[in-house]
Structure 1
Amino acid sequence: MPGDSVYLNTKVVHQNTYDAIIVGSGVSGGWAAKELCEKGLRVLLLERGGPVQHPSYPTSLMHPWEFEHRNSLCKADREKYPIQTRHYSINEDNKHFYTRDLENPYEEIKRYDWIRADVLGGRSLLWARACYRWSDLDFEANLKDGHGVDWPIRYKDLAPWYDYVESFAGISGNRDGIPHLPDGVFQPPFEMNCVEKDFTAKIAKAYSTRQVIIGRSANLTAPLKGRGVCQSRSLCHRGCPFGAYFSSNSSTLPAAMETGRLTIRTHALVNKVLYDEKKGKATGVEIIDTETKQTEEYYAKLLFINASTIGTTAILLNSVSNRFPNGLGNDSGQLGLNLMDHHKGLVIAADVDGFEDRYYKGRRPTNMYIPRFRNATEATGDFLRGYHFGGGAYRTRGQAEGIGEELKANMSEAGPWKISIYHFGECLPYQENKMSLHPDKKDPFGRPIIQFDAQFRDNEKRMFEDAAKTGVELFEKAGYKNITVSGKISFPGNANHEMGTARMGRDPKTSVLNAFNQLHAVKNVFVTDGACMTSGSCVNPSITYMALTARACDYAVQEMKKGNI
């Protein structure tokens, strides 16, 4: 891919009309590009950010001493990224992937940490790569406890598509036989260290309802086409030149380009979807070139809006017409509502005696994992839904004593073992948690700015408190010492798992999308990113986005062949 703002596919005459347009190049947008191109469509992929070409990530091979501020953000950076720096993941070595907040303002009626990328590949370059299938515990939750609306699909509908995307993406893990955390198509797992194995055995002995497993991660332990295995460098956040973790840049976009049917246009901020009221269909999109601020239009029979949960819904809300005065496909009035994210923020740590004759190798890219047991294998009357734990054990450094050579020698010795865990918990789909377009304020491109009004409520707070007590209990059962609990519940957005705002459902009166991620009211528009989610589960959603996208693409092309799109 050339390094300018437009990637022109030499096998396709460049023009403004395509078979399909995809908005957004992250996890779901990249999958849509691969699937639609491989099914024979000429595809235009629009990305608001700048180009990033695999494997040429600018800092991926730099040494720590080559960074001016030793990989810390300076004062000027923190002023430039006041929202992004609310999150742990932005540093000097990857700040160029993130959105500059001052140039992309939004309004917080209640605090919302919108952490976002602004490059080709989106947050597929920045995600933590945890991949866990959802089960019917998740897909049936709304129906059973009455929160939100019922999902129009069940696990059996997605199971073959999980198989399909896992085989291509490359997911490492064990087949653990946990009914509510289904096994998948896995590469060999990473290995736990000695203390984690000790913890696993002790929890298995103490509980029949709780398990500790190695995390399932989109990091290769065996090579795939054009991609090498994980080097355990713990530098994924810079972009991986080995292609060892799944990203759009290393995986789906090269596959799409290989077909000769993909054109990528960067610096293309989609402003709205164009709608033909006579045909009852979308005809294309209007973009704003982020460098020139000029508008252009592109046309297609099929549209996939995958600009991330917030970006996608903002585009739909801004796409008004006589037919849709409140946003494209918004007959139900649900666009922007039911905004969800996982809550986090808890850290529980303990000292571990012994094992001082053993160490570990490399920087493993995944954690040990404790699948949800609350309201799954164990009942609780305190709250609905549940949470999981992740974490790991590690050796501390030696004592920082002495000066000069003595200090260096002491610090080079390994210290005692410690173990720590964190939690991720589900947020219920509250209609009151929402995003909307400001009626008056505009961004530098003349678009209405987004405003957020969302918060974690009593159910999430009770879950957080339970996780704190239960985490302590786990370490006490294992016989570990000096247990500490720290942290407070996060603000929505900070887990980077924003979901909802254009939910799937069975009834067009209460949902935006049908069982195939198709707008109920506009049959040639699909949404398969986090906006489509009807509930949030407590497990990471990205592999579910991939499966939903592949399934929706298959359906969309079949409908096109039938003349229904």
Structure 2
Amino acid sequence: MSEFNNEEVYDAIVIGTGISGGWAAKELCEQGLKTLVLERGRNVEHIKDYPTMNKEPWDFKYRGLLSREERKRQEKQDRTGYVIREDSKHWFVDDIKHPYNEDKRFDWIRGYHVGGRSITWGRQTLRLSDLDFEANKKEGIAVDWPIRYNDISPWYDKVESFIGVCGEKLGLPHLPDGIFTPPMELNCVEQEFRNKISEQYDNRHLIMGRFAHLTGDIEREGRVNCQYRNKCIRGCMFGGYFSSNASTLPAAKKTGNMTLRPHSIVNKIIYDDTKQLATGVEVIDAETHETLHFKAKVIFCCASAMASTAILLHSTSERFPNGLGNDSGELGHNLMDHHFRVGATATVDGFDDKYYKGHRPTSFHIPRFRNLGDEATKQNYLRGFGFQGSASRTNWQNGIKELSYGKALKEQMFKPGPWQIGMTGFGECLPYHENRMYLNYDKRDEWGIPTITFDCEFKENEMKMREDMESEAFNMLKKAGFKNVKGYNAPSFPGHAIHEMGTARMGRDPKTSVLNKHNQIHAVPNVYVTDGACMTSSPYQNPSLTYMALSARAANHAAEQIKSKTF
């Protein structure tokens, strides 16, 4: 404890080390600011702390499956179908040790360690467009975003150039192109599907997804190209995909300006009524339960959407009895997530002499083609969706039948099975005020902090969209000439897509929003919120690239304010 001086005033404190926290730390430190980075979980060092990165199925006692007792420790996460394998269980929290409450089902997937969910994210890296930034205003939904595409475009450029994004340009105004390295290859069936879509539709396109994986010949310090192992969720010793651990945190550390402190649970942000600014944070040491205070000129909330808002709600004072910066009453409201697990599957005849190399960790992408602002694409619901999917050959398991044994079985095991293809949609959820999270002061965790309760659901607009998602996935596969086409519409609950957004939204008016166009709290300008909590709507695109761009933009704005002695 002696290495941390409670009386020192840091230039900045960053709460959280995930996708947004890593970027905030990097930019602040590279601007010369002495920055304290707080992580509530354990430390994770790149490569050293990836215990399963090289293991094969036979290296696990039960081929990776967990016992019933182990699964009970992650019961809420287990019900989603995620996180129930030995190779990755250590990246996800113990539900019993870290409880939350549900008025309505909410699948909250969390990772408490340095790097957070940047180690386990899906890596799809898509830009938003003005179709997204202008939607609320044009439709009279919620509040208007205080920024447009031109405000964030240079920061998308900066982030993509640093993290490395493989992909192909398409020229669609509603899915802006970025700075890409060479895309990974579509296999022969995916290419066939692409050709059929091009023949059948004028406004639909299939591309290789845009992913934060290194390809091509551009060198990045400490990282090498993706090795096509598809063991990303375990942590990548090559740094082949972007994570805070492999990329932004090492860059911050290199400056000599970062102090990283794990096992540090931020309980609240301290507000000074006289200065009308935040002066620091109150931290509970996760191991000793000791309460500590750290001071700073600016504070960045990057703990993840739900965690950052929980900290703000708990940061009460005489000036802010309902949570820091909560003059609008919107803090905790407008909770969103993508709805998914709806689409179609098919089998594919032919291509028996074709296969593919490696274990590609990416999927194809079909960008949004509904409600693009013209009559031809207008539907009986608002907003839109995109598809992600892949084609592959089934393996030897298709040959395991009661009468399959001996020589015939051995021969079958070495032959790839038939081709299959599938895709799932990711749809936008509208920002409903009544979808919310709030603190339960009667149920506290072991550190005495109130737990979160979720009251959130998908509504009629999302249900109508899901019908169209299933129908159009079915139709596209059918028109491609594939066989045994089957649509599906499985249950999808908020939180399940792991794209939690909203609860501290950006906006133009302090009376109806929490943050301004620079991600500052309207009434407390030296507190920035740059994770998913800041989102004003939830466009269909995977949101992590936008979190990174907003974090970089806000950190540079904060650095300017500090250097001009505004704070």
TM-score strictly above 0.5: yes
Question: Which AA in structure 1 matches 2:55?
Answer: M
* Cα contact 1:87–1:115 (8 A) shared by 2: no
**Secondary structure in 1 aligned to 2:334?**
coil
Please point out which of 409, 414, 419 is paired with 2:411. Answer: 409
Please point out which of 470, 485, 488 is paired with 1:486. Answer: 488
CA RMSD of aligned residues (A): 1.4
Separation in 2, partners of 1:241, 1:227: 9
Aligned to 1:540: 542
* Cα contact 1:464–1:489 (8 A) shared by 2: no
Please point out which of 57, 62, 66 is paired with 2:55. Answer: 62
Please point out which of 338, 341, 365 is paired with 1:342. Answer: 338
Alpha-carbon distance, 1:86 to partner: 2.7
Please point out which of 31, 34, 41 is paired with 2:26. Answer: 34
1:322-350 Cα deviation digits (max 9, x unpaired): 00000000000000000000001124111
Please point out which of 177, 192, 204 is paired with 1:183. Answer: 177
1:321 maps onto 2:314 in alignment: no
* Cα contact 2:343–2:469 (8 A) shared by 1: no
Separation in 2, partners of 1:422, 1:161: 29
Alpha-carbon distance, 1:425 to partner: 0.3
Aligned to 1:382: 380
| Counterpart mapping for 1:197-346 below 5 A | 197-222=191-216, 223-346=219-342
Separation in 1, partners of 2:257, 2:45: 18
Separation in 2, partners of 1:396, 1:98: 30
TM-score by length of 1: 0.97
**Secondary structure in 2 aligned to 1:328?**
coil
Alpha-carbon distance, 1:486 to partner: 2.5
| Counterpart mapping for 1:91-240 below 5 A | 91-222=85-216, 223-240=219-236
Aligned to 1:3: none
Separation in 1, partners of 2:142, 2:414: 54
**Secondary structure in 1 aligned to 2:37?**
strand
Alpha-carbon distance, 1:411 to partner: 2.0
**Secondary structure in 2 aligned to 1:554?**
helix
Alpha-carbon distance, 1:379 to partner: 2.0
Question: Which AA in structure 2 matches 1:474?
Answer: M
1:330-383 Cα deviation digits (max 9, x unpaired): 000000000000001124111111111111111111111000001127423311
Alpha-carbon distance, 1:97 to partner: 1.1
Aligned to 1:75: 68
Question: Which AA in structure 2 matches 1:406?
Answer: A
**Secondary structure in 2 aligned to 1:559?**
helix
Pick which of 438-447 and 545-554 moved more.
Answer: 438-447
Question: Which AA in structure 1 matches 2:13?
Answer: I
Alpha-carbon distance, 1:404 to partner: 4.1
1:195-252 Cα deviation digits (max 9, x unpaired): 1111101100111111111100001113422101101111000000000100000000
| Counterpart mapping for 1:5-20 below 5 A | 16-20=8-12
**Secondary structure in 2 aligned to 1:414?**
coil
Please point out which of 555, 562, 566 is paired with 1:564. Answer: 566
TM-score by length of 2: 0.96
Alpha-carbon distance, 1:400 to partner: 2.4
Please point out which of 78, 85, 102 is paired with 1:85. Answer: 78
- Which structure 1 segments of 5+ residues have no match? 1-5
Question: Which AA in structure 2 matches 1:457?
Answer: K
Separation in 2, partners of 1:19, 1:88: 42
Pick which of 62-71 and 118-127 moved more.
Answer: 62-71
Please point out which of 38, 44, 53 is paired with 2:45. Answer: 53
Between the aligned residues of both structures, percent identity stands at: 54
Question: Which AA in structure 1 matches 2:306?
Answer: I
Separation in 1, partners of 2:555, 2:394: 48
- Which structure 2 segments of 5+ residues have no match? none
Separation in 1, partners of 2:299, 2:115: 18
* Cα contact 2:343–2:474 (8 A) shared by 1: no
Separation in 2, partners of 1:172, 1:285: 39
Question: Which AA in structure 1 matches 2:133?
Answer: F
Separation in 1, partners of 2:407, 2:232: 33
